[in-house]
């Protein structure tokens, strides 16, 4: 399958960011890091979101929260306090380099707490062969939109909506002269991708 660039995910370490170059490359939406744990706010989140909204439709500008092993309710309250009134929320469930990796039980709890507060399940992000892939194999998160990283030439083993096929620091595809984390929608073309992004609460 030839990879098509539909969505780029971004955090403060990607600055400076050219959203117009992304749109010129065919990107239809972005997912921005908003928060982590119970207190961290990405220093570029609000700036990136404000700028992205001048290029992309509001429903195509999403956010994500990086889960750690702190109290699940406090994490979700923190995430919602930063993204209040904004559409498109994702939970990032992967190993944490500082040793505070979220347990499966806490990730499930966080997912259900967020669902109860916003009225729909959030999307879940993770790697095909790591925490999220194992959790899916065990029957968890199957009702959630799934965004799966697999840095190969073929898509993830697990059925998903988004395939992250390049990590910016590892890939060789550039957008506007820079390397980013690149993602392809798995359920249709770019117009279908835009409609799906806008369907999030």
Q: Do you know the residue count of the chain? A: 201
For helices 72-83 and 104-118, the axis angle rounded to 10 degrees is 40
**CB of 62 closer than 8 Å to CB of 30:** yes
CA distance 53 to 65: 19
Q: What is the pTM of this model?
A: 0.96
Spatial distance between the Cα atoms of 131 and 152, rounded to a whole number of angstroms: 18
Mean pLDDT of the region 154-170: 94
For residue 127, report the phi and psi dihedrals to the nearest 5 degrees.
-95, 150
What is the mean predicted confidence (pLDDT) over 109-116?
A: 98
Q: Do 6 and 193 meet the contact criterion of CB atoms below 8 Å apart?
A: yes
Look up the CATH number of domain 7-198. Answer: 3.20.20.80
pLDDT per position as a tens digit, 8-34 = 999 999 999 999 999 999 999 999 999
Domain assignments of the chain as residue spans, ordered by start = 7-198
**pLDDT reading at 176 higher than 60:** yes
Assign 132 a pLDDT band (cuts: 50, 70, 90): very high
pLDDT of res. 201: 67
Q: Is the pLDDT at 58 greater than 90, yes or no?
A: yes
User: With bands split at pLDDT 50, 70 and 90, how would you rate the model's confidence at 200?
Assistant: confident
Report how far apart, in Å, the C-alpha atoms of 154 and of each of 144, 149, 150, 164, 197 are.
22, 11, 8, 11, 23
Q: Is the model's pLDDT at 2 over the cut of 80?
A: no
């Amino acid at each position: 399958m030839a990879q098509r660039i539909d969505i780029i995910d971004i955090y403060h370490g990607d600055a400076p960011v050219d959203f117009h170059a992304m749109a010129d490359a065919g990107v239809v939406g972005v997912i921005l890091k908003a928060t982590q744990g119970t207190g961290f706010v990405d220093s570029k989140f609000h700036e990136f979101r404000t700028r992205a909204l001048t290029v992309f439709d509001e429903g195509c500008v999403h956010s994500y929260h990086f889960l750690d092993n702190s109290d699940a309710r406090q994490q979700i309250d923190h995430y919602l306090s930063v993204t209040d009134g904004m559409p498109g929320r994702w939970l990032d469930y992967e190993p944490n380099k500082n040793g505070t990796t979220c347990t499966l039980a806490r990730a499930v709890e966080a997912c259900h707490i967020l669902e109860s507060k916003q009225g729909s399940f959030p999307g879940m992000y993770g790697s095909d062969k790591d925490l999220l892939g194992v959790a899916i194999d065990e029957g968890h998160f199957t009702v959630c939109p799934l965004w799966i990283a697999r840095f190969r030439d073929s898509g993830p083993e697990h059925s998903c909506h988004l395939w992250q096929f390049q990590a910016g620091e590892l890939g060789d595809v550039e957008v506007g002269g820079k390397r980013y984390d690149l993602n392809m929608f798995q359920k249709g073309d770019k117009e279908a991708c835009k409609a799906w992004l806008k369907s999030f609460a």
